[in-house]
Homo-oligomer: A and B are copies of this chain.
């Protein structure tokens, strides 16, 4: 008799965004004439750039002729694309070799799968609040233990609170983890780690031989040149950190699917073949994955040309214009808002410290705007609310106007 992976029963609840969809649908059914406005999901809305569209069309066209058709590509990604990604790092003064770049179908699968190459008894530290995928995949692997409903925590995870006091970047954990997840620019808080803050973690990880999983999916949103876009800007990070990134947020590839993960050859945790984490991830990807779509990789190559990068930069600036409108609007009401400067997310302190699901209901009922309750990202988010800068300009303006005119404070 076959049984299921029992760890699935330990998951604390449905996926956050399913619950939001359910509530929104309920409101819409009760109020069919009201237009609901979304400032919630981190989903891109603007069309792909001209250069990328051309690159994708070329990618398609090549497959229509016998002499340019290609079948299976390398599981690690197209050699040219790996080289171009490495070149992007070099331009920012960071040494990454093409064979350290693993192209994938996005940052979410990589963030989810990366834990699987480490031992099942590794202890795991996560930021609180954090992107739910880091937590859920470790629950499913059995590393998180049981969910304690009263405190809203898994009993074997090491939580690193991100609060107003520490500027939403965590202090070093009080226990010694094997794996440390860090995300900067941060989803959901919109905070960005400084070099000094990252250095503290890199030094810690090297001292205790922990591995850092650094999710840099929003790095293109950093406009302040003093803030690190890659953890490899920190000395020693090549010995302890894996970095994950994506074409989703700066090139609008959320539905197109393309990302990459850097696994430095200097990251060695055991003196065996697979103790070299680059070799280990290579084996994982070769066995479980069959490469990102060749069409999509052609689009990625186009995005990395000079013209592609200029157009991508315009897209980023557009979304950051949205962020400013939201931030200014909320602050004009006297609300306290974090993030939204070097990141496309805003982290709103709920008025009167009300619970984040209560604020969700209040915002939806009074202003017809949907956002994301902070508690969905962890207990430290219980009095915060995430707003996203992804949206058409007129929709953002309409939502902010509605909040300014209708929210009862």
Contact = CB atoms under 8 A, between A and B. Distances in A.
A153 interface: no
Nearest to A121: B3
A118 B43 contact: no
A294 interface: yes
A164 interface: no
Interface in A82-139: 105-106, 108-109, 112-113, 116-120, 122, 133, 136-137
Assembly stoichiometry (copies): 2
A290 interface: yes
Interface in A165-195: 178-179
A210 B69 contact: no
B256 A295 contact: yes
Interface in A186-242: 208-211
B118 A5 contact: yes
Contact of A41 (B70, B72, B256): B72
Contacts of A44: 71
Interface string A22-47: 00000000000000000001011111
A121 B2 CA distance: 9
- Chain B CB within 10 Å, residue with most, of A208, A256, A273: A256
A255 interface: yes
A73 interface: yes
A119 B5 contact: yes
A209 B255 contact: no
Contacts of A113: 288
Contact of A287 (B15, B105, B269, B283): B15
A142 to B, nearest CB: 8
A70 B253 CA distance: 9
Contacts of A60: 53, 56-57, 60, 295
Interface string A264-279: 0000011011110100
Given A45-B66, A48-B64, 8 more contacts: A1-B178, A2-B179, A4-B280, A15-B286, A47-B69, A116-B140, A255-B294, A293-B295
